[in-house]
Amino acid sequence: AVPPAPAAPAPVVPAPQFADDRALPRDLQVRRVLVIEDEPQFAHILYDLAHELGYRCLVAHGAADGFALASEFVPDAILLDMRLPDSTGLDVLQRLKDSPLTRHIPIHVVSAADNAEAALHMGAIGYARKPATRDELTRVFARLEEKLTQKVKTVLLVEDDDLQRRSVIQLIGDDDIEIVDVASGEEALELLRSRIFDCMITDLKLPDMQGSELLKRMASEDIVSFPPVIVYTGRNLTREEEAELHRYSRSIIIKGARSPERLLDEVTLFLHKVEAELSSERQGMLKAARGRDRIFEGRTVLLVDDDVRNIFALTSALEQRGAKVEIGRNGREALEQLDRVKEIDLVLMDVMMPEMDGLEATRHLRADPRFAKLPVIAITAKAMKDDREQCLAAGASDYLAKPVDLDRLFSLLRVWMPKMERL
């Protein structure tokens, strides 16, 4: 195993520089906004503006404090910086959106860092860049107010299959949701030229155009507003298609046995629905959707790689998710570890290694009946066209190219972990 890295010094989080409104008794007539911002001077500017606009304001200067305040006070809205001393703003945003208690809260980012695309994908309602003028900050509060006062949310559903359309309407329909459904891309564009939608769900296979073409036309034509888009498709996508769609859409869901839960999860996120107000059946579906992220807890991953930097980076990422990691430095060590360690759930197998490479090791373990169903994800530095075929022919379950994209890795782990039956 890799020797533990020396403990990093604790980040310095600024002490509170001024008293905020947390000690005031709760007044249901007055909205509360939480500012998570490590620059005391800028935090004070937001605090003063919040008061001027009739809000009460709570202030946190670090990620941990911000998440704790959000969980304790459940404010009406949050203003979030991306560069915080003890963690990233994206990490805070993810934690807030993962928590049933806080995920409905509209979060607007105000930051010098350029993480707009990632933040909006994760459910932020807007992104303002520092240095921001007073007018720009006032517009940020106006955007929050717009979300908070909105009684009915509108969803545009673009789906030509009647059965699929009815099932989606039944899945997400509610008293405070208006669903406008159309069967073609042209009908969708016609509506988008004159109406604002809070969220859009589209299939990729439409009678008059591909969903990808619809999204491109939305980006280039004169529409009122580009809503958060959820692509809901039955088609498996290539990596290139996925990357292209992610330029325009917030989420891509492949239709399958568990896809309704994921679709409900994404829609409630982008519509800022309060989870506790949903039916118990829907709350159960959301728990099931998110439970798949908890699959890392208590699982054992065998990481086979001869590069210490890769081992350290991947071990850290997996352990943060709750997985236990065993190490093999080459194919031979991997086979030894499989004999030694009981209940390994998945193997991450580098292809290029000394002594015994990953392809040979994969062939060996597949020849053993004990490991016939063991998920093996091959990792290779080469971007050759036939790599995937070689890996799959050797018995790998799936394939990942270096440098490893952690989001894609976790996505693959979520796909393959549930398929693992304890042997």
pLDDT in tens, 58-99: 999 999 899 999 999 999 999 999 988 888 888 888 889 888
Which residue ranges make up each domain of the chain? 32-149, 153-289, 297-419
Cα 353 to Cα 38, 290, 334, 349, 389: the distances in Å are 45, 36, 11, 10, 19
Given this model, what pLDDT does residue 73 score?
Answer: 96
Please give the residue that has the higher pLDDT: either 255 or 339: 339
Model pLDDT for residues 185-243, shown as the tens digit of each residue: 999 999 999 999 999 999 999 999 999 999 999 999 999 989 999 999 988 777 678 77
* 396, 376 Cβ separation under 8 angstroms: yes
Token pair belonging to 177: 């949701």
What is the per-residue pLDDT across 94-122, written as a single tens digit (0 to 9) for each? 889 888 899 999 999 999 988 787 788 78
Is residue 233 within 8 A of residue 254, CB to CB? The reply is yes
32-149 and 297-419 agree in CATH topology? yes
Fold classification of 32-149 (topology level): Rossmann fold (3.40.50)
Q: What is the pTM of this model?
A: 0.67
Domain 297-419 annotated CATH 3.40.50.2300: yes
d(CA 126, CA 123) in angstroms, rounded, equals: 9
Name the CATH superfamily for 153-289.
Answer: Response regulator (3.40.50.2300)
